[in-house]
């Protein structure tokens, strides 16, 4: 199969108390985005959930934060990698290895189990960074120095 990318309208969740709203300026195109979009991983037990919005190397500017956010400020340059949630309580998470958490939620094509990576319509799967706006829990955002060009962040 092949990729047939088309613009779609979608709604991001409202900014929660620990969330960051990013005005996305750039999103890298990774080979894994193309494989997922074309459903090449279905045989390995990871079928693509459509509508698929890939993109896990996104960078932009923070335009809003929740009231409990402490590490990001409005106006900061911010990036998001390949995951947007984990349990935050297991041994791996507490050691800073959220990528090894059994409950890790990928930036796209993964079901949200905690509500911290909620999508619309609710109960859907995560939708990635090929978008104009992105909402993420601050734990899974990366502050990018303003001296670093956003177009190189992915």
| DSSP 8-state assignment for residue 139 | G
pLDDT at 154: 66
* Residue corresponding to tokens 């959930």: 49
Please say whether the beta carbons of 138 and 70 come within 8 A: yes
* pLDDT for position 2: 65
pLDDT at 55: 84
- Write out the chain's pLDDT in tens, 154 residues: 566 777 878 888 899 999 999 999 998 888 888 888 888 888 888 888 888 888 888 999 999 999 999 999 999 999 999 999 999 999 999 999 999 999 999 989 988 888 888 877 677 888 888 899 999 999 999 999 999 999 887 6
Q: CB of 130 within 8 A of CB of 144?
A: no
Between CA 145 and CA 123 the distance in angstroms is: 35
> Which pLDDT does position 83 carry in this prediction?
94
Q: What is the pLDDT of residue 138?
A: 96
Task: Tell me the C-alpha distance between 150 and 59, whole Å.
Answer: 6
Contacts of 23 (CB under 8 A, 6+ apart): 60, 61, 62, 63, 132, 133
Q: Whole-model pTM? A: 0.90
Burial class of 3 by CB neighbour count within 10 A (0 to 12, 13 to 18, 19+): middle
């Amino acid at each position: 199969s092949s990729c047939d990318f088309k613009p779609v309208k979608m709604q991001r969740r409202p900014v929660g108390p620990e969330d960051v709203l990013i005005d996305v300026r750039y999103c890298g195109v990774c080979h894994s985005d193309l494989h997922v979009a074309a459903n090449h991983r279905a045989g390995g037990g990871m079928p693509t959930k459509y509508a698929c919005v890939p993109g896990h190397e996104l960078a932009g500017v923070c335009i809003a934060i929740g009231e409990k956010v402490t590490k990001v400020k409005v106006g900061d340059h911010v990036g998001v990698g390949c995951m947007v949630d984990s349990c935050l309580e297991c041994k791996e998470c507490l050691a800073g290895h959220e990528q090894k958490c059994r409950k890790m939620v990928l930036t796209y094509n993964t079901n949200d189990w905690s509500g911290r990576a909620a999508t619309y319509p609710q109960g859907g799967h995560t939708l990635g960074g090929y978008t104009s706006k992105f909402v993420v829990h601050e734990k899974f955002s990366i502050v990018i120095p303003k001296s670093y060009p956003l177009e190189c962040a992915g």
